[in-house]
Amino acid sequence: MLPIQHTCQPRQDILQGSFNPEIFTASLSQVVDHYRGKPAVTHALYTDAEQFFRDATYATEGLRMVLTDVFSRLAGEHSAPVLHRLETAFGGGKTHTLIALTHLGFRGRELAAVTQGIIDPHLLHAPGEVTVVGIAGDEIPVHKPQGSDLAPYTIWGELAYQIGGESLYRQVETAATSPAAPDRRFFEHILEGRKVVIMLDELAQYAARLEAARPHGSEQLAAFLLALHGYARTHAGIAVVLTLASQTDAFARQTGRLVELISTVRGEDVAEDTALGMAEQAERGIRSVVARDAVTVVPVQAAEISRVLARRLFDRIDQQAARETVNAYMDMYS
């Protein structure tokens, strides 16, 4: 007989049968919108920073590395990497990492107590000292939207808008609305003298839609990334984090969504093979730009998945009792 151990305390909603796994589905834009005063459309597990770090975050090696590098860069450390690429694999973790950056970017030292063991508190800044930009590439339009409301429809226009609102956007509107990538003067205007963390999520999807919208659109995106990195490399207060799927399955899990997005942009049904070919060509352009200079990080390694799941599914785990139970099972198998 194996010993019965009270090794853990599952979350109450699991015990009650009311657990909804959708609470673990969030997007970068939802959390950024929360900080900008828009109504929350996601679970408080993500919008409440203290709850996010206390109840939902396991400090993986990748997470600690990205947070340390980014906030070292923002603190003025020139030797810290300027560009990080989050590559999804195993248990994902890219969105979780971006949300962690968002909370720390907006609140800084206010979160020192709940981020012990994740980031050195000396790297955290005063609240409001850092500008946070979070751009979701699967959401930003690639055509000028209808209506009179200001809605950026280039990724560089969205960058300017998130940094300085409508006032800054109007100052650079000619470049912000141009289909051609901006030059260095644009970045000097919108970034100079600021500390900014720039997060570019789902770039492959954006590149594919941009290529569908106009010829050579993805080439202009690649030119934008190259110019952004060139500027940020010489300014320690700027850090850039972007996400790409691993090269082997960049679009394998989202083919249907990709076809839908490209068909919408084209205004006609697009065959799956056509959509995939277009997307892969556009994605190669981005990858060629970031491959030389980006530090590639897998946010969750295979050996860390069980720890991540344990943090999300259990309120308490008795580690000693867990080890004894595991040893008992190993003895039985032996």
Every domain of the chain and the residues it spans: 25-303
- The pLDDT score that the predictor gives to residue 251 is 58
- The pLDDT score that the predictor gives to residue 6 is 59
Threshold 0.75, pTM exceeds: yes
Any idea how long the chain is?
A: 334
Residue with token string 């070919």: 277
The arithmetic mean of pLDDT across residues 222-244, rounded, is 93
Pick the CATH number of 25-303 from 3.90.950.10, 3.40.50.300, 3.30.70.920, 1.10.10.60: 3.40.50.300
CA angle in degrees (0–180, nearest 5) for 70-123-24: 60
- Tokens coding 259: 């076809």
- The pLDDT score that the predictor gives to residue 257 is 67
Q: Mean pLDDT across the chain, nearest whole number? A: 85
Instruction: Tell me the per-residue pLDDT of 238-290, one tens digit each, with 9 for 90 and over.
Output: 999 998 765 445 555 566 666 777 777 677 777 777 777 777 777 777 888 88
Range name among 40-54, 160-174, 293-307 with the lowest pLDDT average: 293-307
What's the Cα-to-Cα distance from 49 to each of 99, 108, 142, 311, 314, rounded to whole Å?
9, 11, 32, 16, 19
Q: For the chain, where are the E strands, in sequence order?
A: 8-10, 83-88, 131-136, 196-201, 238-245, 295-297, 314-317
- The pLDDT score that the predictor gives to residue 248 is 46
- The pLDDT score that the predictor gives to residue 2 is 47
The arithmetic mean of pLDDT across residues 294-306, rounded, is 80
Calculate what percentage of the chain has a pLDDT beyond 70. Answer: 87
Rounded Cα distance between 59 and 303, Å, is 13
